[in-house]
Chains A and B, each alone.
Chain A
Amino acid sequence: MTDVKSEALRYLGYRGNKPDDATSALLDKAYDELAKAAVPRYISKLSPKNDVSYLLKGNDIAAHLSASSRVIIFAATLGSAADRLIRTAEITNMAYALILDALASAFIEQVCEDAERELHEKNAGFFTWRFSPGYGDYPLDVQSDIVRYLDADKRIGLTVTGSDILIPRKSVTAVIGISDTEQAKGIRGCATCNLRKTCNYRKTGITCAI
C-alpha cells in the first residue's frame, strides 16, 4: 500500500525527497479517497503466439517475444469513478488533483503487478516483462484490436477512443510472453520508455528509478 504512495511521489518528481507536511496530508487523503472510488479489474487471455500475431506489430514486440511460444494479452483498469474523482478535484484544488492523478497511475501499476503475480501462479513457464503499446515501436493503434480481442469493453468496461486513448484513463494493456525454458525477461527501462526523449530525469543525468 505504501508502495503506491511512494511511487506516486516518484511520479511527482520527489525521487526520494520527503514531501512537506501539507503535501503528505493531501497524499494520505487522496489515497483514501482513491482507494474507495477505484474499482480495479483486469482480464487476460493466453494463446499460442501465432494465433494473435495480428496484435503483435513492430520489431520491438517481436524481439521481446522472440523466445516465447505463448503470450498473455492483458488489460487492466481502475474504472471510470477514479477519472471522475480526478476531474472533480481539478475544479476545486489543482494540487489535490495532481496528487490523485499520480496516485492513480501508481495504483494501476500495482494492479498490473498483482495481476501478473496471479497469472504466474496459474500458468507454468517463464514470463517476460509486460510490454505495452507505445513502448518502442509497438504502435498505439493496436489498442482497439486488443480491446476487441479481450472483449474488454464488455468484460471490464475498457474502451478506446478514435485517437487510441484508453478510457477509463487509468488503464493499461500489455503483452507478456511465456516460454518453457528460461529466457531473458526482455528490455525494460529507458530504452523502451516512450518518454525517453523528453524525460526530465534523463536531462539531469539520472533515471526515475530510485
Chain B
Amino acid sequence: MEFKELFKKDYVILDGGFGTELQKRGMRPGQTSELMNFTMEKQIEEIHRSYIEAGADIFSANTFGANRLKLSKTNITVAEVVQKALSVARKAAEGTDTLVALDIGPTGQLLEPAGTLSFEYAYEIFAEIVDAGKDLADLIIIETMTDLYEIKAALLAAKEHSDLPVMTFMSFEKNGRTFTGALPGAAAMTLEGLGADAIGVNCSLAPDELYGIVEEITRYTDLPVAVKANAGLPDPATGKYSVPAEQYAADCVKYTDMGVKVYGGCCGTTPEYIAALKKMLTEHVPAPRKELSGVSSVCSYSRVVDITCPKIIGERINPTGKKLFKEALRNNDINYILGQALEQVSAGADILDVNVGLPEIDEKEMMVRVVKALQGITDLPLQIDSTKPDVIEAALRVYNGKAVVNSVNGENAVMERILPIVKKYGAAVVGLTLDENGIPPKAEQRVEIAERIVKKAEEYGIPRGNVFIDCLTLTVSTEQKAVYETLNAVREVKHRLGLHTVLGVSNISFGLPAREMINSTFLSMAMECGLDLPIINPNIPAMSGAVFAYRVLAAHDENAAEYIARFGQDAAQKPSAPKAEVTLSYAIEKGLDKDAEALTKQKLADGTDAMDIINGELIPALDRAGDDFGKNRIFLPQLILSANAAQACFAAIKAAMSGENRISKGKIVLATVKGDIHDIGKNIVKTLLENYGYTVIDLGKDVPEQTVVDAAIEHDVKLVGLSALMTTTLGAMEQTIRLLRQSGHDCKVVVGGAVLTQEYADAIGADCYAKDAKDTVDFAKKILG
C-alpha cells in the first residue's frame, strides 16, 4: 500500500517499543541496539512480525541510532547497519501490506549555539542515513528529537535526498517544551513549512500527560497528527512500566476527539499495547479535525508570534545610514549587531528585521553568521531582509523556526526568483505593492498588485496567510496627498483581501523637523486602518509606545496587563543625573556606566581631547581598579563592572569620532581553541583589553588552528591570545602555537585558562602565561605599549 492511500483511512497504527523488546530477547545494557541487526537478526524479525500481527500499518526498522557519530566507536559503517536493518524489516513485512520506515533518531550531540555540532554537519550526518536507506524503505520516520534545529536538518536531508514521505516526532516534557525549549506550536508550523507529511510526539511522557501538547500541535497544522507515548515510567527495581495496555489505549481515546489520526507506542509499549490501540480505534473512530483559526503566525523554536494585533518589527539591524553599523560589518564585529538586537528586544520588539547588505562585504556569508549568532541570544522570530535569492535561501536554511522574507514585489521576475525559496522553507513573505512600473499613485492600483502577488504565491503553494502586504509609505513632505492613498490601501488589503499588512513607518517624515511626532501619529493612523506589522525603531519610546497604547485601546491587551507591566514603574526607573561630586575616574573605578557615559559626553562637548580622556582618566582609573583586584581589595565582578563603565566611556568617544582617526593601541587576536567551548574567560579578557584601547579580533570559541594563523596574518597582529579550559583541548592550543610559529608570522602568544600552568605554557612554546585577565593586559602593554 502507498503511504498516501494508507492515510486516507480513518486511522493509522504504528508499532511500539523496540529497545525493551530486544532486551527481553537477550540484549544486555551497554550493548548497541543497531549492532544487534547482525547478531540477533531472527529476534528482530520476530519483534517486527509481532507488531504486524498486532495491527501495525507501519513499523520502524532498527536504525534509530545508526548515525556516524554513534557508530564511530564500532568498525561498521552507517550504510551497512541501515541496509542490514531494512532488509531484516523487509523480510518481516513480506506478504503483508505493512509499510517499512527508515527510522532516524538524534545524533546524540547538541547543535550550535548550545553545542558544537554545526547545522551543516548535522545535515550531512542525516543525508548519509537517508542515502543508505531510501531504496529499501517506504517512508522515513524522524523521532525522539528535542531540538527543532536538529530535526530541521534531518527533515531537509530527508526531503533533498529522497522522495519518501516523512513523519516527524518530537519529545516534550511536562512543562510543555522540549529539553532545548522548543514549543509544540513552533515545531508544528516549522516542520509543516519544511514539507513534513505528518507531525507527532513520541517518548518522554505517558499518553495522559500529552493532551495539552498535542492539542497545541493541532492548532498550528492541518497535517495528520501522531501520538507515540511511553507506557508511563519504569519501576526502578523491576523495570515494569506503570501504564498497562488497556489503560494506555483508554487514555488515547481523548486524542480521537481532537482528530488525531496516527497512533503507536514508545518506551515500554509492546504488541499487546498496539492490539489494544487497534481495538480502541475500531470503537472510537477519530473525529474530523477542527478548522484552523486562520490566524497567521511566525516563530523561532521557542517563541510563537501570532499576528492577532499589531506586532513590532524592529528595524535597527540595518547598515543604511549608520556609520557604526557599517564599521561593525566591515570588522566582522558580530557582537555590535547582537547588541543592537538585544536593545530592541528589551524595547518590546516582536520580530527583528535583519539586513546586512553592504557592497564591500560578502552578504551571504555575513547573513548566515548573523542569523546563527542572533538565534543564539534571542528567540524573537527574524525577518530576512535582502533582495538576493542566494542570501535569502542561505538565511532561511540555517534559521531555526518560521521566518519572514522581506521582500518580493509585483514584478513577475522577482516573484519567480524568490517565491520558490519561500515555499521550500515554509517562510512568510512581504509583498511590496510596486512592480516594474514603479509605485502606483492610487490605492486601488496597489491593492491590485497585492492581489497579483497573493495569487502568484498561492500558485507556488504558499498559503495566503503567509503573505504580508506592504502598501508603501511615501514621504509626506514631498507627497502630502499620498498619505491617504497608503492608508486606504492598507484598509482595503486588510479588510477586503483579508491579508496581513506591513509598513515601514519612518519614511513618512523625511525632510521634516521633529520627525518622531509625525512618525508616531502616522503609525497610530495606520494601525487604526489595519496595519498589523509596523517596521519601526522600537528604541524610540514614542514609537513602541504608540503600539503598546494601541493594543490597550483596541482591547487586545486585556486589562492593560502588558502595558502596566511595561510602564507601571516608569517613574522609578528614570536615570538620575550624575551627582556633582562624581568624576569620570570615580565613575569608572566604581563601575557606574551611565555616569561614565554622561561625563564623557560632557567632556567631549567641552572640547577635551579624546586621547586626553583615555590616557588621563580612563586608563589610570582602570589601572587602579586592576591594582585593587591584584591586592584582593576588589573582586572579579567589580573589576568587570569598571571595565563596563570604561566601555561606556569608550563607546561615547567612538560615537563622536567614528570614521576619523580611530583610536587603537594595536590589534590582538583572541580565540578559545579548537574543541573547547568555555569562552567566558576569553570574553572577560576581551572586555578588559578593549577598554585599555586595544582592538580585539575575537574569533570566538572552538576555533580551528589554521583560522587563528590566518587571522594573525590577515590583520598583521603582534599579539595572539589563546584560551583553553579543558585538559582535553590543550593539545589544540599547542598545535595552534606550532602552526603560528611555522607560518613565520612574527607575533607573541599569551595563553590562559583554568588548566594551564606556567610550566605547561613554557612547554607548548607560549610567550606568556596569564593567570587572569589583568595579567593579559599587562603583557599587552609590554608588547604593544
Contacts and interface: CB of A to CB of B under 8 A. Distances in A.
Interface string A143-160: 000011100011011011
B542 interface: no
A99 B29 CA distance: 41
Contact of A23 (B204, B638, B757): B638
Interface in B616-647: 632, 634-638, 640-641, 643-644
B146 A157 contact: yes
A76 B643 CA distance: 34
Contacts, number: 154
Interface residues of B, number: 60
Given A80-B114, A83-B114, 17 more contacts: A12-B637, A19-B638, A90-B683, A93-B644, A94-B643, A94-B644, A94-B683, A98-B637, A159-B110, A163-B728, A165-B676, A167-B114, A167-B115, A167-B116, A169-B678, A194-B755, A198-B771
Most buried by B among A87, A95, A140, A160: A95
A1 interface: no
Interface in A120-176: 134, 140-141, 147-149, 153-154, 156-157, 159-165, 167-169
B726 A91 contact: no
A197 interface: yes
A84 B637 contact: no
Closest 9 CB pairs of A and B: A157-B179, A163-B675, A95-B640, A167-B115, A88-B377, A167-B110, A95-B641, A94-B687, A159-B110
Given A164-B728, A198-B757, A98 B114 contact: no
Contacts of A88: 342, 377-378
Interface string A181-210: 000000000000011011010000000000
Contacts of B726: 140, 163-165
B252 interface: no
B114 A84 contact: yes
A122 to B, nearest CB: 8
A98 B636 contact: yes
A141 B491 CA distance: 63
Given A88-B342, A88-B378, A165-B676, A198 B756 contact: yes
B377 A84 contact: yes
Contacts of B313: none
A198 B755 contact: yes
A20 interface: yes
Contacts of B675: 161-163, 165
A26 B637 contact: yes
Given A140-B726, A163-B728, A195-B755, A80 B180 contact: yes
Nearest to A47: B29
Nearest to B267: A154
Contact of B637 (A54, A99, A163): A99
A101 interface: yes
B413 interface: no
Interface string A31-54: 000000001000000100001101
B507 interface: no
Interface string B671-704: 0000111101001100100000000000000000
Contacts of B591: 22, 95
A64 B668 CA distance: 45
Given A22-B590, A99-B637, A86 B680 contact: yes
A101 B634 CA distance: 19
A46 to B, nearest CB: 7
B339 A91 contact: yes
A149 B757 contact: no
B677 A161 contact: yes
26 contacts: A12-B636, A13-B632, A19-B637, A22-B591, A54-B30, A79-B179, A83-B114, A84-B114, A88-B378, A91-B377, A94-B683, A94-B687, A95-B637, A97-B680, A98-B680, A99-B637, A101-B680, A140-B728, A154-B144, A154-B204, A157-B146, A161-B116, A165-B728, A167-B109, A168-B110, A200-B772
Contacts of B173: 39
B691 to A, nearest CB: 10
Given A54-B30, A167-B114, A94 B109 contact: no
A2 interface: no
Given A81-B181, A88-B342, A161 B29 contact: no
A29 B684 CA distance: 20
A198 B684 CA distance: 18
Nearest to A90: B683
Contacts of B757: 197-198
A12 B641 CA distance: 14
B113 A87 contact: yes
Nearest to A9: B635
Nearest to A149: B30
B74 interface: no
Given A94-B643, A162-B109, A20 B638 contact: yes
B727 interface: yes
A17 B632 CA distance: 9
B342 A92 contact: yes
Most buried by B among A17, A23, A94, A134: A94
A92 B591 CA distance: 14
B200 interface: no
Contacts of B231: none
Contacts of B338: 91
B415 to A, nearest CB: 37
A91 B30 contact: no
Contact of B114 (A90, A168, A198): A168
Contact of A163 (B635, B638, B676): B676
Given A94-B683, A161-B109, A84 B376 contact: yes
B186 interface: no
B649 interface: no
Contacts of A134: 727
Contacts of A148: 30, 108
Contacts of A169: 677-678
A95 to B, nearest CB: 4
Nearest to A92: B342
B376 A87 contact: yes
A162 B678 CA distance: 14
Given A26-B637, A95-B641, A97-B680, A149 B29 contact: yes
